[in-house]
Structure 1
Amino acid sequence: MESSVSQFRTMSLPLLDAEVLRTFVVIAECGSFTRAAKQIHRTPAALSMQIKRLEENIGRAVFLREPRHVRLTGEGEILLSYGRRLLKLNEEALQQFIAPAIAGSISFGTSDDIGTRILPGVLAQFARSFPAVQVDVVLTSSRESLARVDSGELDMALITVGNEGQEMRGEVVHTEPLVWAGREGGIAVQRSPLPLALANQGCVWRRTALDALDVAGIPFRIAYTCEHCAAQEAALLADLAVAPFPLSLVRPPLKKLDKEGLPELAKYQISLVRSASNPVTNALAGHIKEAFIGL
């Protein structure tokens, strides 16, 4: 009997309307009923009615109305997280039935620093959206990935760009500061000549760092040369060297070295290179670009 009552209560809960949720998310992101109305081509009054119905359904206020903008309440912030996830799930469900079927395979090359940042989430999301597509991943240097794309071994690759005189290839999908990184409380940065952990010849990070040190007149020695940034990170964690790193990869116990007198480093870019444009490569490219937006 108790189980039947519990089931009845669950079944009688109001359902969140997808269109109303979409309106709520747009208003939250715009910070204004007026701006949101222009974006989705509705009147502010119509949006207000939708939000009123939403608040009645959940029994909570989701916005604090102010003269020229709105702010989320605590409950509104919680609902925004759920709303984005529900809309994304709704989109994935529809893709399974009404989107054109995409099947096949794709070979994809990337370096380990890019792969560890976005690849797990991208591949998981892509597999849910396009379960009939097989993705083969090769972790290698940007130079090697580009060569394999040109030879037809890879369909797509993410490469780092930024070396002076380097030919610009593909579509830039991410730009990020390159910074000096070292162990928190470490002494490697105080040594002279400065010990460096660098990637092999041809790496954008390597060339940027060496040029900056040469211009600044800071003596250095290349203490570690390795293909993968995980090995560079190991040298930093052991306080045996410092290294040029993307800002997003600098996590405790590593820190950005910005008060140690080292020269500023330029930004670098990540480019997406494709051997051809087809439904499979276009679909994976879309997921990759979306992942970089969140970094």
Structure 2
Amino acid sequence: MTAFPSIDTEVLRTFVAIADQGGFTRAGELVNRTQSAVSMQMKRLEEDVLQRKLFERDGRQVRLTPEGQVLLGYARRILKLHSEVFNTLREPHMVGLVRIGTPDDYVMRFLPGILKPFSKAYPLIQIEMHCESSTVLMQRRDLALTVISREPGHEMGELLRTERMVWAAAPCFCVDEHETLPLAVSGADCIYTQWTRSALEAVGRDYRLAYHSTNGAAIQAVVSAGLALMICMESLVTEDLRILGSEDGLPALPSMNLHLLRNPQMASPITDCLAEYILEGFRL
């Protein structure tokens, strides 16, 4: 196997700083080295290690050559992996299992953007996910972290975000064609169901609970097929649905708060770390 010269990660860190800062002096300040030390590092990298020109100099500014652009992509990846190695091996307590609970509505919308970077940073942590209604989740004591829906005035835990609630249906669904509105709901104990019934009863609109499932995907399928109407958070309305409102003869709906609950009996560095990822992910 061919033996290649090695590149120190500190040299790569300096190289990335030069690319980001546009000059040796500012990069030196960032990595706590003198301008001459930075220049010497890059000279060795160009002449002795890679034998390729990495910079084009324009007065005090420097630009990357095509070879420098290639190295920049690799350098960023190497430094990221280097950081992940130390996060994993220098933090042996970041190993184990954490159970989280969330209504399944939020899984596809929020969880991928939260769990993907978390799993990359802490690959030895196993996550067990439980999807149930907020009412059921609040009664469980075996979950370390729980995401729940709460109406304003009934806050608990840490606020993740506030969402506008809307009526949603397929483009082919016409409210005026239904003397009794067919509804797709998650269950009698679901706060969405309670709000749906209260809103329609307040304006004297007849309805029937036509479809019931605790599976969010099943509800979505029924509504997408034009068979029923549902309420959901505005951010969960998919491209195959449309939002309905007062122009369709439907009453206004209250807003919804999403909260994060932490189980103090299961507190640990793992749960604290994942909680921060959840807080950040829901607020984006």
Q: TM-score, normalised by structure 1?
A: 0.66
Q: What is the alpha-carbon root mean square deviation over aligned residues? A: 3.6
1:221–1:293 Cα change, 3 Å: same
Alignment-derived partner of residue 131 in structure 1: 123
Tell me whether 1:113 sits opposite 2:105 in the alignment.
yes
Which AA in structure 2 matches 1:125?
P
Counterparts of 1:246-261 in structure 2 under 5 Å?
246-258=233-245, 259-261=247-249
Tell me whether 1:293 sits opposite 2:268 in the alignment.
no
Alignment-derived partner of residue 267 in structure 1: 255
Counterparts of 1:1-295 in structure 2 under 5 Å?
56-58=62-64, 92=84, 95-96=87-88, 101-149=93-141, 153-162=142-151, 166=154, 168-187=155-174, 190-258=177-245, 259-276=247-264, 277-294=267-284
SS at match of 1:57: strand
Indicate conservation of the 8 Å contact 1:172/1:271, yes or no.
yes
Matched residues, percent identical?
Answer: 30
Residues 200-240 of structure 1: per-residue CA shift (max 9 Å, x gap): 12222122222221222222222112212222212211211
1:292–1:220 Cα change, 3 Å: same
C-alpha deviation, 1:275, in angstroms: 1.0
Residue correspondences, number = 233
Indicate conservation of the 8 Å contact 1:189/1:241, yes or no.
no
Which AA in structure 2 matches 1:159?
I
C-alpha deviation, 1:158, in angstroms: 1.0
C-alpha deviation, 1:21, in angstroms: 7.6
1:89–1:175 Cα change, 3 Å: farther
**Distance in 2, Cα, partners of 1:293 & 1:86:** 29
C-alpha deviation, 1:284, in angstroms: 0.7
Which AA in structure 1 matches 2:261?
V
Which AA in structure 1 matches 2:279?
K
Indicate conservation of the 8 Å contact 2:88/2:124, yes or no.
no
Indicate conservation of the 8 Å contact 1:196/1:221, yes or no.
yes
Which AA in structure 2 matches 1:140?
E
Indicate conservation of the 8 Å contact 1:188/1:240, yes or no.
no
Residues 103-160 of structure 1: per-residue CA shift (max 9 Å, x gap): 22111111110112122332222211112211111122222222113xxx22121111
C-alpha deviation, 1:95, in angstroms: 3.1
1:223–1:87 Cα change, 3 Å: farther
Which AA in structure 1 matches 2:258?
I
1:214–1:291 Cα change, 3 Å: same
Residues 132-190 of structure 1: per-residue CA shift (max 9 Å, x gap): 211111122222222113xxx221211111187x5x33212121111000001323563
Which AA in structure 2 matches 1:112?
D
1:105–1:241 Cα change, 3 Å: same
Task: Give ranges in structure 2 of 5+ residues lacking alignment.
Answer: 5-10, 23-57, 66-75
1:191–1:103 Cα change, 3 Å: same
**Distance in 2, Cα, partners of 1:53 & 1:101:** 50
Indicate conservation of the 8 Å contact 1:106/1:136, yes or no.
yes
Residues 71-121 of structure 1: per-residue CA shift (max 9 Å, x gap): xxxxxxxxxxxxx99997786466346667512211111111011212233
1:137–1:22 Cα change, 3 Å: farther
SS at match of 1:148: coil
